[in-house]
Structure 1
Amino acid sequence: MSSPSPRIGIVVTDAYSAEDPDHDTPVLLAALQARGVAAESVVWHDPTIDLAAFDLLVIRSPWDYPERPREFLDWLDRAETATHVVNTPATVRWNLDKRYLGELEHGGIRVVPTVYAETTDAAARAIATHDAPGARLVVKPAMSAGARDTGLFAASDPRALELAERIIGGGGVAMIQPEIAELSEGHEKALYVIGGTFTHAIAKGALLEAGGGLRGGVYAENPVLVEASPAERRFGEEVLRAVAAASAEETPLYARIDIVDSAAFGRCVLEVELIEPALNLHIAPHATPAVVDAILGAISHESASGADR
């Protein structure tokens, strides 16, 4: 008698904006089902779902978790107890707070210079250091996604401190960074690594409007496939080695490494997204088999581990 097909849950939420839809999940579900896998979407905050009924939960697009972080952490605890989860809950917890960038920097990775302000006074001091004529800076929370509560301001603009105060007043940590001119010109590049192997790179253009807020008033990426040079790929490999040393996950199932080549600071990491990066499979269909293979590999690894226990 053949063994039953593994049941895989693709972890999502129940509402997406028209400007920022979840393109990946329909593609991924179809590809898994075509390989004979019982795969379905799972709304992370739906209390009626039996998490233990799944052999694997793949965190993909729970994009509202920054609005309910305590609830998400509680869900992670339940999911981890119930079944196998990727990326691992330990890695997700580590990646939730962008102060991990300081750990990567300590590990030898160049990151955008950042002050992490836990008080209004600390934020005011950090903002005051950007006093060169025409200087601009970015203020954002250490826990966020989709550029929530992120603003680009002239250093003299009182709205920079107001945003920092709002973040800190809400119990968060405010990050203060210098503007990277190349970012404002749309030269950020995202490198995707699936199961430890580079698959594709995209550029999504500039998102922040000077003076606070988003260009066009809403978060709307415009991803375009781009090439990644051998040097950029090597840099991505260095970043993931530093991630492994800091987070204790040797090879995450999926990773997005955001980088920029900056005249002021060199090649820098902006973010390493290990929780819920859009993989942009609708414009990089060649990456879909790699994602499916990595998911099936995670199932096989867990099955082997269970047999050994």
Structure 2
Amino acid sequence: MTDHHQSTRGEPRVALVTCAELPDLDPDDRLLLASLTERGVTAEPVVWDDPAADWSAYDLTVLRSPWDYALRRDEFVAWASTVPALANPADVVRWNTDKRYLGELSAAGVPTVPTSWVAPGETWQPPAERGEYVVKPAVSAGSQDTGRYDLADPEHRELAAAHVRRLSDAGRLTMVQPYLDAVDTAGETALLFLAGPAGPTFSHAIRKGPMLTGPDLGVEELYKPEEITARTATAEQLAVAELALAAVPGGARRLLYARVDLIPGPDGAPVLVELELTEPSLFLGHADGAADRLADAVLTRLSATAR
């Protein structure tokens, strides 16, 4: 970081926040760099916990791929609160990095996947009901530490209990959810929204194939490979997404981007599984013009912060 005041004399400067494992950004996010350059914006990747980073040197700091934060969430949230002009804002980061927000969205009338919670140190036994369940921590990224268990299988019941104990021993809150088996055929739909003059505007949608094939055995992965294809969003999916965005604390107009992840529930209607507002993949390479739309959204946010 050399010129702390470059933006006052010329091009605005934008930091694209990443992690040490991806110092040059995720390949999908690199598509944004050219679009920003075409718009007269100087953008560069910066590792979020780099002690040499000077966040005051940037007109806007955009969270993109800081995917190692899950085991350091308190540190990450504290860091976010110190960054000027952060997108998305630090209070949204605090709220969205703990998946207990699903309970708030459910209370606000958003159809969400049913979730039970197991606090660290709390005794847990697999439910008596047969069927498949997902076990994962309330703070995670990229399906890390997430497993799928068939509770009709005695071995899976033991592995599910061991998974909860492993998270509990690490002081982590655990989520237990029924596995929505429509994901095996219909897949998961991610709806992408980007900032516009009047608030988040729908950009594109993608289909993600099923990712959970079985139990989590404690092998650490930064992220798991995904099967991604383009998808056309339905009116019903868009309606659920709008409900979720309307329930964001502080209002959705402050968001640079949002990703709404949906899976058909038992009755076929879309159910929210995650509302990604912190560091979601935006799948820019899977929709024509998506990188340009995100660059325009960055310009919208730069204009707002300059007022």
Query: TM-score scaled by structure 2?
Result: 0.88
Q: Which residue of 2 aligns with 1:275?
A: 278
Q: Which residue of 2 aligns with 1:148?
A: 144
Gaps of 5+ in 1: 305-309
Indicate if the aligned counterparts of 1:23 and 1:282 stay in contact, CA closer than 8 A: no
CA-to-aligned-CA distance 1:192-235 (integer Å, 9 cap, x gap): 11111111111120111123369xx9710121101101221122
CA-to-aligned-CA distance 1:134-185 (integer Å, 9 cap, x gap): x111100000011111100122420101111111211111101111111234
Q: Which residue of 1 aligns with 2:227?
A: 222
Aligned amino acid, residue 6 of structure 1 = P
CA-to-aligned-CA distance 1:43-100 (integer Å, 9 cap, x gap): 1111111111111101111111113223312321221xxx211000100110010000
Aligned amino acid, residue 249 of structure 1 = G
Q: Which range is displaced more, 201-210 or 178-187?
A: 178-187
Q: Which residue of 2 aligns with 1:231?
A: 236
The answer to whether 1:175 aligns with 2:175 is yes
CA-to-aligned-CA distance 1:100-147 (integer Å, 9 cap, x gap): 0000000001111110110454532xx224x23xx1111000000111
Aligned amino acid, residue 267 of structure 1 = P
Q: Which residue of 2 aligns with 1:205?
A: 209
Q: For the aligned residues, what is the CA RMSD? A: 2.1
In structure 2, do the counterparts of structure 1 residues 91 and 6 end up closer, same or farther at CA, with 3 Å as the change threshold?
A: same
Following TM superposition, by how much is the alpha carbon of 1:186 offset from its aligned partner in structure 2, in angstroms? 5.3
Indicate if the aligned counterparts of 2:137 and 2:145 stay in contact, CA closer than 8 A: yes
2-side partners of 1:25 and 1:75: how far apart? 22
Identity of aligned residues (%): 36
CA-to-aligned-CA distance 1:253-288 (integer Å, 9 cap, x gap): 101100011225742100000001111112224212
Aligned amino acid, residue 103 of structure 2 = G
Q: Which residue of 1 aligns with 2:34?
A: 30
Alignment match of 1:12 (pick from 12, 18, 24): 18
Q: Which residue of 2 aligns with 1:307?
A: none
Q: Which has the higher helix share?
A: 1
Aligned amino acid, residue 264 of structure 2 = D
Q: Which residue of 2 aligns with 1:115?
A: 116
4+ residue runs over 3 A deviation: 119-122, 211-214
Aligned amino acid, residue 145 of structure 2 = D
Following TM superposition, by how much is the alpha carbon of 1:25 offset from its aligned partner in structure 2, in angstroms? 2.5
Indicate if the aligned counterparts of 2:32 and 2:292 stay in contact, CA closer than 8 A: no
Query: TM-score scaled by structure 1?
Result: 0.87
Q: Which residue of 2 aligns with 1:84?
A: 85
Gaps of 5+ in 2: 1-7
Indicate if the aligned counterparts of 2:120 and 2:172 stay in contact, CA closer than 8 A: no
CA-to-aligned-CA distance 1:15-57 (integer Å, 9 cap, x gap): 149xxx8123211111101111111111111111111111110
Aligned residues: 287
In structure 2, do the counterparts of structure 1 residues 188 and 213 end up closer, same or farther at CA, with 3 Å as the change threshold?
A: farther
The answer to whether 1:72 aligns with 2:68 is no
2-side partners of 1:209 and 1:88: how far apart? 35
Indicate if the aligned counterparts of 1:112 and 1:265 stay in contact, CA closer than 8 A: no
